[in-house]
Structure 1
Amino acid sequence: MAWDSLCRGDLLRPKIRSASRRTTGSQSSYKTPSLEELRHLLWTRTHPTGHVDEVWPNLYVGDLYVARDKAQLSRMGISHVVDAAAGRFHIDTGPKFYKDLPVDYYGIEAEDNPNFDLSIYFYPVARYIRAALKSPRGKVLVHCAMGISRSATLVLAFLMICEEMSLADAIRTVRSHRGICPNSGFLKQLWELDLRLGREKRRGAKVF
């Protein structure tokens, strides 16, 4: 894959402001948006999508092309790869593919299907990303085939769980750097996560 078509801005570090879970009003005033409102938020003024974009400091969302371009990953300094489309019939990279790079690999055999339960991976992947970002020179690529549904969903869940963002704030944060579109099933799973995190927050329970 030639990288001549890769926009220069794709690899520039974005200027990202930290957002908290309840950025507007008190904790009790926050209300999870409806699925229709979330779909509108995702589809309004969609940001262009390149092969890879930094959506949070040292956290990248990308597609299969960047995942397979080891020279590019090396130039970017990627230390950890989360493959949200792992498996023989998807993007069959794996630890052996990256054996000549100082890269730690985490694979998930997920289907980009509204009926697939991706939520079972929300907390394990969030923990993995958090630990990777805290490691020396940690840079994480989360990818799937196109970098808009499976991988985006996992990154949104990470921002909600570990950065204490609301789902709406997480969507706004990622969309300001990359066009994303979780399928309807994944969006509903994120919506349910937002409801659950909101209840735990109101109870004063430790979210993560």
Structure 2
Amino acid sequence: MKKHLSPTKQQQQQPPPPADAPVQSSEVTVQQLNELLSDGSGFYNLPTQHFNEVFPRIYIGNASCGGGFVATFSRELLVGHLASLHRLHIDRKVYVHCREGYSRSPTMVVAYLMLRHKMDARLAVATVRHKREIGPNDGFLRQLCQLNEKLAKEGKLNGDVGKLKTK
């Protein structure tokens, strides 16, 4: 199994914030998400399968598997794509892919879970990571943190961060 050093471990460790600095429970950082993604020693595992079902009827995979699924989404994190994903997911299986099925497509699915299932970023990342080895780049993780902050301010996240709800 191939392993990559996580971007967090590659960079020099930054000093932690002061102990008296207020931290909101809805605040999510790139470092927190990277810790959820790594194997504990700071390494990411690459996917071992071409595709995995990461949420009921939602599959993430690489570009080598395209047949037999309803739709594919492979570009930027766009609201239009997320709306299309939601419409398709209601009735059918959906295959979300990018070239490797490791960074871009998992980010799309995590954002979908946050927007449509009201999961906080940590729970959504952990949900997908539990079913597939993923490693969204820090830019995508930063966008997920920003989305989490926006949804939290709007009251659009479940209060039960630790509970997975599928309906």
Please indicate, yes or no, whether the TM-score normalized by the shorter chain is above 0.5: yes
2:94 equivalent to 1:140? yes
SS at match of 1:146: coil
Q: Residues of 1 paired with 2:141 and 2:80: CA distance? A: 18
Moved over 6 A (4+): none
Post-superposition offset of 1:129: 1.2
CA contact (8 A) 2:38 2:45 kept: no
Paired position in structure 1 for 2:135: 181
Out of 51, 72, 86, the position equivalent to 1:130 is 86
Amino acid across the alignment from 2:59 = Y
Paired position in structure 1 for 2:163: none
Out of 72, 76, 80, the position equivalent to 2:71 is 80
Paired position in structure 1 for 2:54: 55
Amino acid across the alignment from 1:130 = H
2:164 equivalent to 1:200? no
Out of 21, 24, 30, the position equivalent to 1:35 is 30
SS at match of 2:65: helix
Post-superposition offset of 1:184: 1.1
Deviations 1:58-117 (A, max 9, x none): 1000001112xx3xx2xxxx22222x1xxxxxxxxxxxxxxxxxxxxxxx3xxxxxxxxx
Q: Residues of 2 paired with 1:133 and 1:196: CA distance? A: 24
TM-score, scaled relative to structure 1: 0.58
Matches within 5 A, 1:19-30: 30=25
Matches within 5 A, 1:90-105: none
Residues 164 and 81 of structure 1: is their aligned pair in 2 closer, same or farther, counting only changes over 3 Å? Answer: same
SS at match of 2:145: helix
SS at match of 1:155: helix
Structure 1 gap ranges (5+): 1-28, 85-107, 109-117, 203-208
After superposition, the CA RMSD in angstroms is 1.8
Post-superposition offset of 1:32: 2.1
Structure 2 gap ranges (5+): 1-23, 157-167
Q: Residues of 2 paired with 1:168 and 1:130: CA distance? A: 20
SS at match of 1:148: coil
Paired position in structure 1 for 2:159: none
